[in-house]
Amino acid sequence: MAVHAHPDDESSKGAATMAKYVAEGVEVLVCTLTGGERGSILNPKMDRPEIAENIAEVRRQEMERAREILGVQQRFLGFVDSGLPEGDPLPPLPEGCFALQPLEVASEPLVRAVREFRPHVILTYDEDGGYPHPDHIMTHKVSVEAFEAAGDPDRYPDSGEPWQPLKLYYHLSFTKARFEALHEAMTEAGIGSPYGDWIARWEDRPQKWELTTRVPCADYFEVRDQALLAHATQVDPDGFWFVCPREIQQKVWPTEDYHLARSLVDTTTPEDDLFAGVRETLPATTPAPECDATS
């Protein structure tokens, strides 16, 4: 199960990983907590009044196309996008938005989804949300709550039969080491790299979360890119996501990366498989064959 704040987040974080596991027979569910109703149109080619007026429906259609490309299941969990506040001081968040919900209210649909889908592995954001969008930060909170509560029959007793996931991961999609490697490879290839100034401004501090798990998934980068392009209001085909040639990415950084935040099974890091330790445990917990693991 991959838990995300908005439609398009599933395609920019962990998409190749999901496509790889789908191809191997794993059931994968994306839970999208909001509809992205307050998202801006980030692709100038799509910045038209008729799209802006119907952005919620357009983003649902984009999500459906991306879901089909990735081969995953997907559910919207029904909350309203909080938007990204800007200004000094920051304006208050809109009344009723996802980020302002009490934790138990915001978590209940995800607890219910976990108990229905019964994943062994959950992917989510770290406590900073990957970046400080209020919906991403709340997504972290509800993901941790659901991981810890879904197996407890005394918590959320009206939200389905208890089910305990076994591993919880945080995405480490945007690390300095990755962009330094891509920058160096593009420079050596004689391609202008846009990453130099960005790297130079990167705060010189230790990475907050240890990179514990690198999933080899370069063969699925094309699927990832197609899923990204399905979110046409959010992703400019001539923009940031595609500035580094895919062939260089596949050669220089052929993995998607994670931090193992919780594990109820024995595993040794570094890992190259989200199901490390889970596969060994499954025969003792379920009669399902290995390929029927769920993420």
> What residues contact 127, with CB distance under 8 A and at least 6 apart?
137, 140
Q: Is the pLDDT of residue 245 over 90?
A: yes
Q: What is the tens place of the pLDDT at every residue in 260-282?
A: 999 999 999 999 999 999 998 88
Q: Provide the CA 195 distance to its chain's centre, in angstroms.
A: 23
Alpha-carbon span 294 to 193, nearest angstrom: 38
- Tell me: the pLDDT tens digits for 195-240? 988 888 887 766 789 999 999 999 999 999 999 999 999 999 998 8
Residue of higher predicted confidence among 88 and 19: 19
231 annotated as belonging to a binding site for a ligand: no
SS3 33: strand
Residue 290's pLDDT band (boundaries 50, 70, 90)?
A: very low
Architecture per CATH, domain 2-173+255-292, reads as 3-Layer(aba) Sandwich (3.40)
6 annotated ligand-binding residue: yes
How far is the C-alpha of 9 from the C-alpha of 76, rounded, in Å? 13
Q: Position 102: which residue type?
A: P
Q: Are 80 and 134 in contact (CB under 8 A)?
A: no
Reading the block at residue 195, the tokens are 């990453």
Q: Which two tokens stand for residue 233?
A: 């209001």
Q: What is the pLDDT of residue 223?
A: 98
**Using an 8 Å Cβ cutoff, are 111 and 77 in contact?**
no
140 is in an annotated binding site: no
Percentages helix, strand, coil for the chain, rounded to the nearest 5?
40, 15, 45
pLDDT digits (tens, 9 = 90+) for 78-99: 999 999 988 888 899 999 999 9
- Residue 92: the pLDDT is 95
